Amino acid sequence: MYIIGIDGGGTKTVGILATETGQHLAQVQSGPANYHVVGEAQTQAVLESVVGELCEKAGVSRTNPIRFCLGMAGLGRATDQEVIGRICDKIGVRAFGNGVRRILTHDAHIALVGGAGKQEGVIIISGTGAIVYGIDADGREARASGWGYLLGDEGSGYDIAIKGLRAVVRAADGRDHPTALTNLILNRIELNAPSELIRWVHAASRDAIAHLAAVVFDAARNADGVASRIIDAAADELICAAGSVVEQLGFEGEFDVVLSGGNLIHQPMFADKLQHRFAEIRPEASILLPKHEPAYGAVLLAQASF
């Protein structure tokens, strides 16, 4: 029996093939597989390529019994499960028969299991978007945030970046204090004046805007007051969402809180802020960075189904 775990993202897809004991045999990376981003045909092509390449790389025939777990944004919703389930049927990863058992779940689920190394705890994710998700010992789930950039995602890279851009235009109007963000952001995107931001922001992708969060972090590290307030507010929002999840699940005693996503993994100052704030409300929590990547979390989920 073998296991395939896949993290199907909007930017890249990572797949891992392992034995039933979790021994890592092969890992591959491909392009985006979120059908909301690339369409169903491309999602099917990427998933089929990843499964095929994993089997070829590990020397495993696809006729072998395989447990399969895919994590992808939105797969907690029935409509998305139907679409991805149909795609999996087409590429031979069937729910029943031929020794294949299929698990379709959302990306925060596999990130938590991979990050904590077990199916219990809370994960705070701050990347382009943001979400807090948790599971208790009885398998009950809870979430907060993750509503998308139009409705929320407070504490995400996009949220931090858009507030940085707003700070620049407010300073240009004299409605707020001058900020180092003005020159830093304009230089990063090669503009000459704040007035040019209108055209730029309407043409930019969500990811392109979110990448400017790094500039806000840089300014905050250099003691820019405006940038520091933006980062503090982002940390407060993530702690608020995490507090909601902990309360929904009624955690008592020690439990793990995983800090994940680019903004928390690559910005130690931001991770430290969350750790200190969380310690104030739940000192018994163990704050940690991910033990394993999400694709391995998918492997662990599939392994637990034996």
Query: What pLDDT was estimated at residue 90?
Result: 86
Residue among 138, 147, 156 nearest 261 (CA): 156
Between 175 and 74, the higher pLDDT residue? 175
Using DSSP's 3-state secondary structure scheme, residue 251 falls into coil
The arithmetic mean of pLDDT across residues 111-117, rounded, is 95
Instruction: Look up residue 102 and give its amino acid.
Output: R
Query: What pLDDT was estimated at residue 36?
Result: 80
pLDDT class of 299 with cuts at 50, 70, 90: very high
Q: Quick check: do 2-117+293-304 and 118-289 share a fold?
A: yes
- Residues 134 and 132: their CA atoms lie apart, in Å, by 7
The arithmetic mean of pLDDT across residues 113-119, rounded, is 93
Domain covering 2-117+293-304 assigned CATH 3.30.420.40 in the classification: yes
**Token pair of 70, please?**
């895919």
Query: What pLDDT was estimated at residue 58?
Result: 87
Percent of the chain at pLDDT > 70 equals 97
The arithmetic mean of pLDDT across residues 78-99, rounded, is 76
Query: What pLDDT was estimated at residue 97?
Result: 47
For residue 212, is pLDDT > 90?
Answer: yes
- Residues 142 and 250: their CA atoms lie apart, in Å, by 10
Number of neighbours of residue 305 by Cβ within 10 angstroms: 12
The answer to whether 227 and 160 are in contact (CB under 8 A) is no
pTM: 0.88
> What is the residue-wise DSSP string for 270-293?
HHHHHHHHHHHH-TTEEEE--SS-
Number of neighbours of residue 95 by Cβ within 10 angstroms: 13
Percent of the chain at pLDDT > 90 equals 66
Query: What pLDDT was estimated at residue 39?
Result: 85
Contacts 24+ apart (CB under 8 A), 44-47: 44/87, 44/90, 44/91, 46/8, 46/13, 47/6, 47/8, 47/13, 47/87, 47/88, 47/91, 47/93
pLDDT class of 53 with cuts at 50, 70, 90: very high
For residue 6, is pLDDT > 50?
Answer: yes
- Burial environment of residue 283 by CB neighbours within 10 A (0 to 12, 13 to 18, 19 or more): exposed
> The domain 118-289 is classified under which CATH number: 3.40.50.300, 3.40.50.720, 3.30.750.80, 3.30.420.40?
3.30.420.40
The arithmetic mean of pLDDT across residues 150-160, rounded, is 92
The arithmetic mean of pLDDT across residues 217-224, rounded, is 96
Query: What pLDDT was estimated at residue 276?
Result: 93
The arithmetic mean of pLDDT across residues 228-234, rounded, is 97
Residue among 8, 283, 238 nearest 130 (CA): 238
- Residues 104 and 75: their CA atoms lie apart, in Å, by 7
pLDDT class of 75 with cuts at 50, 70, 90: confident
* 60-69, 173-182, 224-233: the lowest-pLDDT one: 60-69
Which segments of 174-205 does DSSP mark as H helices, in order? 181-188, 197-203
**Token pair of 290, please?**
């991910």
For residue 95, is pLDDT > 70?
Answer: no
- Residues 185 and 216: their CA atoms lie apart, in Å, by 8
Backbone angles phi, psi at 180, to 5 degrees: -65, -15
Instruction: Output the average pLDDT for the chain.
Output: 90
The arithmetic mean of pLDDT across residues 271-295, rounded, is 93
For residue 101, is pLDDT > 80?
Answer: no
pLDDT class of 162 with cuts at 50, 70, 90: very high
Query: What pLDDT was estimated at residue 200?
Result: 96
> What is the residue-wise DSSP string for 9-36?
-SS-EEEEEEETT--EEEEEEES---HH
Domains of the chain by residue range: 2-117+293-304, 118-289
Query: What pLDDT was estimated at residue 305?
Result: 75
Give the model confidence (pLDDT) of 31-50 as tens digits.
Answer: 888 888 788 898 899 999 99
